[in-house]
Structure 1
Amino acid sequence: MSATNEAMGIFALDQGERTRFFACPNFAALDCLTATFRTYRYVPHTHDTFVIGSVIAGCETWTVRGIRGYAGPGDFVFVNPREVHDGAPHGSGYCYRMSYPSIELLRQIAAELGEKDVIATPYFPDTVVHDPAGVALFVAAHAAMDAQGDAQAGEELLYRAYAHCLTHHAQVTPRPATGREADRVANLGRLIEEQYAEDLSLSRLAAEAGLPRHRLIRAFRHETGMTPHAFLIDRRVIAAQQTLRRGATPAEAAAATGFCDQAHLTRAFKARIGITPGAFRAAVS
C-alpha cells in the first residue's frame, strides 16, 4: 500500500479490520473515525450528533428510516441526530472516514451561510448522496485533521466541507411524525434520558406510560425505531461517551451510567461506536 493511501486512511481491505478514532481540537467536541471493516456490523443505534462521512474504498450497506442503501467511493453518508441506523460491509468490506458534528456546530455554520442569527436545525433527507467533488473536499479535510499538522488549514477545509454539505444536501427540519401514542412515548423518552442510570424495567416503563408492555414496545418502536430497552442502552452509551471525555476510566463510566459492569459497557459501546471505551478515552481525553 502506498504512503499516500495510508495517510488518507485508505487501508487495504485484505489487511484486516482497523480503526482510528480522534478528536478535532479546533472544533468543540467534534469526533472523527477512520476505519476499515471486513466483517464488523454495527447494531442499530443513534447519535446525539450528525453523522457525516464517506466510504473511500469498498462498499457499506446502511438501513436508515427503514430504507436500505449502499455507499461506495464518491458517496456522502448523512445520518441526522437520533436517527436509528446500522452499518455493515457489503462484499469484501469497506474503508471510510466519518465525522460527528454537533447540532450546534452545523446550525452555526448554516446561520453564517444564510447570514442569520437563528436558523432551524438542518436536516439531511437522503442518507447516501453521490457527490465526488464534495467527497474529495471532505476526505482532504478529514485527513488533514487526522494528521494533526496544520490545525488551522484542517479547520478551514472542514468548515468548507460542512458548508458544501449544508448548501447542497440539507434542508430545514421536517415536522416530526406522530402516532396515536406519540405523546406518551415522547414523555417516556425524556424519562429515560433523565434516569438512564437507574434500573428501568419494562414493567416500570409500561406503568409510567400507562400502556400494557406489549403495546408499549410496539408504540415505542413505531415512534423511535427502537424498543425501550434498545433506547435505554443507546442513551447509556451516549452518556458513557461524555463521562469518558471527562477523564473517567471505563469501569467508572460503566458504574456511572447504569451498566452492570465494564464488560457490559464494552460490548454495548463497541457495537455502537466501533471502538472500545478505552480507545475512545485515549482519543478524546
Structure 2
Amino acid sequence: MPLSRRWSAASACCCSARRAPSGSARVALPTPSEARDSDETDRARDAPDHFSSRQGQCDRLYPAGMDLISQGEALAQTPLLPGEHARIFTAARFDGLEFLSARFSTHAYAPHVHETFAIGTIEAGCEVWHARGRRMYASAGDVVFNHPFDVHDGLPYDGGYRYRMSYPTIELMREIAASLAGREDVGTPFFHEPMVHDPEGAAIFAAAHRLLDDGRDMLAGEEGLLRAYAYCVAKHADLSVREIGREQGPVAFAKTMLEARYDEDLSLAEIARGCGLPRHHLIRAFRRETGLTPHAYLVDIRVRRARERLRRGEAPGAVAAATGFCDQAHLTRAFKARLGVTPGAFRAAHTG
C-alpha cells in the first residue's frame, strides 16, 4: 500500500535525509563546509566495532552546560494541540511488543534512550531529530533505526509530521537475523545509518503497522511485521558480532549504582566517591560514554521502570512513588517527554 502524502510535494521533497528544509528559522543549519566536516567525523565515529562506539556522540549537539531533563520537562508541559494525537498499542503475538502511532505539530521529545530497538517511518510531514551526533530530517519514505541505548530526540519541523514507530526487543531482532543467516552465531543487527530513504521498506512497515493497529487480521499483521523487520535487516544491517554497552571503569560503576538505586535520592557526590572521580570529571566521562548526564540517565531509568509497573496495571500515582519521582506530575512530564503519551494512556494500552 503506498504511503499517504497529505503534505505538499515541495514540503516532502525538501525534507530529505541529506539536506535541511528551507523556509523556516526554527533550526540553525550548518554551512556546506560544516556539513562535510560533520559527515566525515560521523563516518569515523560510526566505525562498527561495538555498540558503545556510537554512544557519547551527542556532546557537540548538547553542550555540557545544558540540563537535558529540565528542557524535556518544559517541552512536555505543552499540551497536544487540536489535530495532534499519540497512541500506544501492543501486539500480544509478539509478547507485548509496543507500537506508537502519532501526529505532532508542537510536541518535542527530550533526549532519551530505549532498552529496545526503535524502528519506524514517517508517513507525512517532516521531523528534525538528533542521533549518533547527527542532525537529520525525516520525511515520507524514510525509515529510521535507533539501536538500544542510542540517545535520540525529535521535534516537528515546519508544520509537523505523522509517523509510525515500533520497539522490537534485542531478542526478536537476533531471532530474525539468525533466521536470515541460517545460523545462530550472528550478532545483534547493527544499522550503519540511523535513517535511510527507502519507500519500499517504509511501505512494507507501514502496512504491517496499520494491520496490527486495526486488529481485524492479526495473522496478516504478524506476517507483515516479520517481513518488514527481515527486509530492514537484510537490506540495511550488519550482522557481525557486537556487544551492547561496553563502558568501562568508573562509568560502568556509576551506571550500575544508578540502575540498582534508581528509587533513591542519590547525590552526585556519592556517585563520584564510589567511582573515585571528581564530580565534574564524572559528568564529562559519563556523558562522553553514554550521551547523557548522570541525572538524565537516572530519570531515563526511572521512566523505564515506570513502564514496567504501568504494564502490570499499577496506578500512576503509586508508580511515581515507587520509582523515585517526587510526585505524579513529575512522572507525567518525564514520561511524556520520552514516549509522547501520558502514563495513564500507556497503562490503558496494556490493561485495556
Shorter-chain-normalised TM-score: which range?
over 0.9
Give the Cα–Cα distance (whole angstroms) in 2 for the partners of residues 178 and 166 of structure 1.
23
Give the Cα–Cα distance (whole angstroms) in 2 for the partners of residues 272 and 61 of structure 1.
15
Decide whether the 8 Å contact of 1:240 with 1:254 is kept in 2: yes
Code of the aligned partner of 1:233: V
Code of the aligned partner of 1:136: A
TM-score by length of 2: 0.75
Match of 1:258 among 324, 328, 340: 324
2:20 maps to what in 1? Answer: none
Decide which moves more: 216-225 or 197-206. 197-206
- Write the deviation string for residues 90-145 of structure 1: whole angstroms up to 9, x where unpaired: 11100000000011111111111112234211111211101111110000000000
Residues 17 and 127 of structure 1: CA distance in aligned 2, closer, same or farther (over 3 Å): same
Decide which moves more: 20-29 or 141-150. 20-29
* RMSD of Structure 2 on Structure 1 (CA): 2.2
Greater strand percent: which structure? Answer: 1
1:23 maps to what in 2? Answer: 90
2:171 paired with 1:84: no
Q: Secondary structure of 2:114's match?
A: coil
2:286 paired with 1:234: no
2:181 maps to what in 1? Answer: 114
Decide which moves more: 140-149 or 184-193. 184-193
Match of 2:208 among 141, 144, 152: 141
Code of the aligned partner of 2:281: R
Code of the aligned partner of 2:321: A
Code of the aligned partner of 1:24: A
1:37 maps to what in 2? Answer: 104
1:98 maps to what in 2? Answer: 165
Give the Cα–Cα distance (whole angstroms) in 2 for the partners of residues 28 and 177 of structure 1.
24
Unaligned runs of 5+ in 2: 9-80
1:130 maps to what in 2? Answer: 197
Give the Cα–Cα distance (whole angstroms) in 1 for the partners of residues 120 and 292 of structure 2.
24
- Write the deviation string for residues 137-156 of structure 1: whole angstroms up to 9, x where unpaired: 00000000000111111000
Q: How does 1:1-285 map to 2 (within 5 A)?
A: 16-171=83-238, 172=240, 174=242, 182-285=248-351
Code of the aligned partner of 1:267: R
- Write the deviation string for residues 200-226 of structure 1: whole angstroms up to 9, x where unpaired: 111111111111111111110001000
Give the Cα–Cα distance (whole angstroms) in 1 for the partners of residues 170 and 225 of structure 2.
15
Q: Secondary structure of 2:183's match?
A: coil
Decide whether the 8 Å contact of 1:221 with 1:228 is kept in 2: yes
Give the Cα–Cα distance (whole angstroms) in 2 for the partners of residues 92 and 12 of structure 1.
9
Code of the aligned partner of 1:82: F
Instruction: State percent identity of aligned pairs.
Output: 53
Decide whether the 8 Å contact of 2:117 with 2:145 is kept in 1: yes
Residues 225 and 173 of structure 1: CA distance in aligned 2, closer, same or farther (over 3 Å): farther
Residues 177 and 49 of structure 1: CA distance in aligned 2, closer, same or farther (over 3 Å): closer
Residues 9 and 150 of structure 1: CA distance in aligned 2, closer, same or farther (over 3 Å): farther
Deviation at 1:173, TM superposition (A): 5.5
Decide whether the 8 Å contact of 2:310 with 2:346 is kept in 1: yes
2:30 maps to what in 1? Answer: none
Residues 148 and 176 of structure 1: CA distance in aligned 2, closer, same or farther (over 3 Å): closer
Q: Secondary structure of 1:120's match?
A: coil
Higher relative contact order (CA 8 A, sep 6+): 2
Code of the aligned partner of 1:78: F
